[in-house]
Structure 1
Amino acid sequence: MTPPLPRTDRGRLLLVLALATLVTLFTATVPLLRDWFDLRVYYGSIDTWVHHGGRVYDYRVPGTTYGFTYPPFAAVAMAPMALLGLHTAIAAALLLNLAALAAVLRLLAGPDWRRHGWFGWALTACLLALFEPLRDTFSFGQVNLLLLALVLTDATLLATGRGRLAGVGIGLAAAIKLTPALFIGLLLVAGRWRAAAVATAVAGGATALAAQVDPDASRFYWTEALWDTDRVGRLGYVSNQSVQGILARLGEPDRAVWAVAVLLILGVWAVRTRRAVAAGEWTAAFALTGLAACLVSPITWVHHLVWLLPSFAVLVRAGRPRVAGALYAVLCTSVVWLWFDDASGVDGFLGSNAYAWITLGLLLWLPVGQFCPALRTGSRSTSTTTAAPVPAAPAISPASVQTDPCSSGTAAATAGGVVAAGRASVRGAPSEPTASTLPADRKPQSSSERASSYTADPPPS
């Protein structure tokens, strides 16, 4: 049974301060700082391209083989960094990621986001700070939160009957990184032809713009860099939580096995996504697509798993806060890094792929068609139950035109489940750093050596 939350402002403030202290201790002792490694890649590549006349794909991080691996439009979008110093660019990236996170939470919480109050959002902020994919996104200076915000904007437009405007966000995201292109597939599966056409046109137009700006870089990317997976990192590196990563750690090099697994995953995704769309559950449909994209991409580093956030929203609003809390807690622990050096044996097979198993499990069993009527798109609530007076931690809900939950019990269960996730993650966290992120076979010692291999998602080859 979940202990009751404090009902006075003083009690709530003390709880938030206590959680913030625990989160600070956790983040100061368990995770390793990534030293904005990916942002340094972006910055160095743009600097080489704009100020030194080199190709954006020529740059390599000193002492490594890692360079820029995103499509050319990503370089065009990042070109303003050439006007900034490195430290200013880092500060700007932090602010952009904070803004993107706020947008993601706002989009997932739906139109009733105000009812959670400062207490609910403070609890949510503490718990999000524990989430390993989110920690790494900020520490690497990654762009996935920005892409998630773009994609969820389209989800909200579709869910609120403004589908004529949908597709732009997905198109831009797909032009910056290839993995979000699967969301165009979602629009096709859902029969949203106009939105799919808009997304395709935006992605194509952005790609054409990049080719106009730098034809040589575009030719090099689409004919050479795109197919060179060595630029991205080792497939068997423990941070790769995709199906390809699982197979690589098993020592299975056969691409045919991976292709069959991808086809099976896409089949499950298509069936479940169609069911979600038929039920009017656009957040569930987008959540399933994010899960499938993480699994089928040849490389899905841990920080790419911010695409799982919509799935936790779906679980909570479907009345599964305990399941959401348990899975969320695992994703806060950095547990996969215990098998950094050796992923052999049954324990290595299960433990080193823990995040991939969670992603696969969510794809197979994420509740679809089980939301209460008040939470379905376009439905109207008939409940007259008064909401509980204690603000719940934001039950990140499907974007919907509906503002009321089925009952006050739903809000209370949501708060209990989210807080339980935070307690579990803090209790279960190891007391020593569990991982390095340098894609080498030794443990790094300096902060600059703690950075991971470059993290762009290559497309299937």
Structure 2
Amino acid sequence: MRGSHGDMGPHGTADPGRGPGLPGRPAAPGPRTDRGRLLLALLLAAAVTVFTATVPLLRGFFDLRVYYGAVHTWAHHGGRIYDYRVPGTSYGFTYPPFAAVAMLPLAPLGRTTAIVVSLLVNLAALAAILRILAGPDWRRHGWYRWALCLCVLALFEPLRDTVSFGQVNLVLLGLVLGDCLLLSIGRGRWAGAGIGLAAAVKLTPALFIGLLLLAGRRRAAGTATAVAAAATALAAWADPAASRFYWTEALWDTGRVGRLDYVSNQSLQGILARLGETGRPLWATAVLLTLCVWAWRGRRAVEAGDWMAAFALTGAAACLVSPITWVHHLVWLLPSFAALLRAGRLRTAAALYAVLCTSVVWLWVDDASGLDGFLGGNIYTWISLGLLLRLPTGQTRVARLPLARSARATAPAPSPESPATTAVPDQPESSSGAGAPAAATGAADASVREGGRSPSREPTGSTCPSAAKPQSSSARASSYTVNPPSA
């Protein structure tokens, strides 16, 4: 059967709050009437808005100010990309030259307009990400479930920081997950372009090319490499001096990005730096071991046809091995939570997600020494490491929504005429979708349908007074502070 009476409205139509689905699909939490659900969704949205505006750090679109100032100076005043500094700070453009080329549409805009564009682009990227993570049955979850999902996502610190900084992480994640979708639905011949573009904008996504090689997808890996090389060549043609400076000097100078031992750096390098271990051999050893674990687990996930888990593992590994992984970079963990939900690990997903909503690492912004600093000041890194080691792979189990009440359903016992069947993991070229529901989305029934397969025009910064923490309106430090406040 495709649905049950509990899924239908009084006239046999689908209940918009729950959507049609499998018998036994969990009921949506909260009120059962549309009016009550709308009221609850509005109240939750208001509470999240108040929380976001008052409790977390406000970043003042600092990174967007960097992007905007660099391309504005480059396009209109003949300045060099990597010479620009946000007024009153020592921070400038740190991405590969192609990123500046891709951001050239910001140049003719006023700063306020650029902020609006940044918000719209991030929202569009988030919508695409959720669509991919939810799988082919995303419409079945209904507006009410998606409203609850967005309220939960708004509390996620890496996502809050990405939007508040005006960062590009969501766009890059969307490009990479686009390739994940293509591989999942058996259209791998078109895969790789998204990864290549993302790697040309920022180096971290290049690890996904390694995943394609591990999976034996040489065509996709070649496409990704060719796209990244073409984009890099385009940037070199547009500004040869900037490209030469970046690849020979700026790339190797981590001091341009920020302090390695700053608490926002939630990578393996950040842990070692806070311990006073700044030698490259120890860090290189830790990176090599991490990559070995990633290669082993990622290959197993691909062999099971679980592309979403493979991409999730790669995102976690990239956060660990990158020299600097600011808190907002941890949006790369979102696919891991989708994989946990799909595998039915709801409590684990909820607990880890709750920690990543707390901003708890900032308690050790002034002093991360001692056992408490080692454990608490690096807790986001421990979460990334735990996901790399323990994330379920090759799962076909249908997961239920967090906060959802279980709906009663009785499955008929198997009979000789209709024996029970056993689901098998999807194959790389024949799975039916991205393979993982988004956080706070319900179970999809694709496995049954397919036989069990499952703010001014000048970058002067005059509207943001210069300070030791230019992107924060709080006394607490932020990701790019050179000298954290003393206790």
Q: Which moved more, 1:372-381 or 1:116-125?
A: 372-381
1:338 pairs with 2:363 = yes
1:312 pairs with 2:337 = yes
> How far apart are the structure 2 equivalents of 1:10 and 1:320?
32
> How far apart are the structure 2 equivalents of 1:446 and 1:100?
26
SS at match of 1:57: helix
Give yes or no for contact 1:172–1:203 (8 Å, CA) kept in 2.
Answer: yes
Give yes or no for contact 1:239–1:300 (8 Å, CA) kept in 2.
Answer: yes
> How far apart are the structure 1 equivalents of 2:77 and 2:476?
26
SS at match of 2:137: helix
Change (3 A) 1:39 1:3: closer
Change (3 A) 1:190 1:401: farther
Change (3 A) 1:174 1:13: same
> How far apart are the structure 2 equivalents of 1:55 and 1:401?
52
Specify the structure having the higher radius of gyration (Cα). Answer: 2
Deviations 1:328-351 (A, max 9, x none): 000000000011111011001000
SS at match of 2:93: coil
Which of 168, 177, 199 in structure 2 is aligned with 1:152?
A: 177
> How far apart are the structure 2 equivalents of 1:146 and 1:396?
26
Note the 1:298-447 alignment, pairs <5 A.
298-372=323-397, 373=423, 376=426, 378=430, 393-395=440-442, 446=473
| 2:480 paired residue number | 453
| 1:190 paired residue number | 215
> How far apart are the structure 2 equivalents of 1:221 and 1:47?
19
> How far apart are the structure 2 equivalents of 1:154 and 1:94?
24
| 1:80 paired residue number | 105
Which of 116, 123, 131 in structure 1 is aligned with 2:141?
A: 116
Q: What runs of 5+ residues in structure 2 fail to find an aligned partner?
A: 1-26, 398-422, 434-438, 455-465, 483-487
> How far apart are the structure 2 equivalents of 1:403 and 1:75?
47
Deviations 1:24-59 (A, max 9, x none): 232122101100000000011111111111110000
Letter in 1 for 2:348: V
Deviations 1:384-417 (A, max 9, x none): xxxxxxxx942598xx97586999xx9xxxxxxx
| 2:5 paired residue number | none
How large is the RMSD of aligned CA atoms in angstroms? 2.8
User: TM-score normalized by structure 2?
Assistant: 0.80
> How far apart are the structure 1 equivalents of 2:71 and 2:471?
27
Letter in 1 for 2:353: Y
1:17 pairs with 2:42 = yes
Deviations 1:304-354 (A, max 9, x none): 000000000000000111110110000000000011111011001000001
User: TM-score normalized by structure 1?
Assistant: 0.84
Cα offset, 1:22, TM superposition: 2.5
> How far apart are the structure 2 equivalents of 1:6 and 1:405?
33
Note the 1:78-227 alignment, pairs <5 A.
78-227=103-252
Structure having the higher helix fraction is: 1
Change (3 A) 1:100 1:4: closer
> How far apart are the structure 2 equivalents of 1:81 and 1:444?
20
| 1:257 paired residue number | 282
Cα offset, 1:13, TM superposition: 2.2
Change (3 A) 1:446 1:14: closer
Deviations 1:193-246 (A, max 9, x none): 000000000000000010011101000000111111110000011100000001
Cα offset, 1:452, TM superposition: 3.6
Give yes or no for contact 2:122–2:171 (8 Å, CA) kept in 1.
Answer: yes
> How far apart are the structure 2 equivalents of 1:265 and 1:395?
33
Change (3 A) 1:316 1:85: same
Letter in 2 for 1:13: L
| 1:246 paired residue number | 271
Aligned residue pairs total: 412
Give yes or no for contact 1:74–1:175 (8 Å, CA) kept in 2.
Answer: yes
Give yes or no for contact 1:112–1:404 (8 Å, CA) kept in 2.
Answer: no
Deviations 1:402-446 (A, max 9, x none): 586999xx9xxxxxxxxxxxxxxxxxxxxxxxxxxx996x89985
Give yes or no for contact 2:305–2:431 (8 Å, CA) kept in 1.
Answer: no
> How far apart are the structure 2 equivalents of 1:59 and 1:264?
38
Deviations 1:83-121 (A, max 9, x none): 111111110010000000000000111100000000010
Give yes or no for contact 1:171–1:181 (8 Å, CA) kept in 2.
Answer: yes
Change (3 A) 1:60 1:314: same
Give yes or no for contact 2:162–2:169 (8 Å, CA) kept in 1.
Answer: yes
| 1:387 paired residue number | none
SS at match of 2:223: helix
Give yes or no for contact 2:362–2:476 (8 Å, CA) kept in 1.
Answer: no
Q: What runs of 5+ residues in structure 1 fail to find an aligned partner?
A: 382-391, 411-437, 456-461
Cα offset, 1:142, TM superposition: 0.1
Cα offset, 1:64, TM superposition: 1.6
> How far apart are the structure 1 equivalents of 2:317 and 2:369?
26
Letter in 2 for 1:185: G
Cα offset, 1:19, TM superposition: 1.9
Change (3 A) 1:342 1:237: same
SS at match of 1:34: coil
Letter in 2 for 1:453: Y
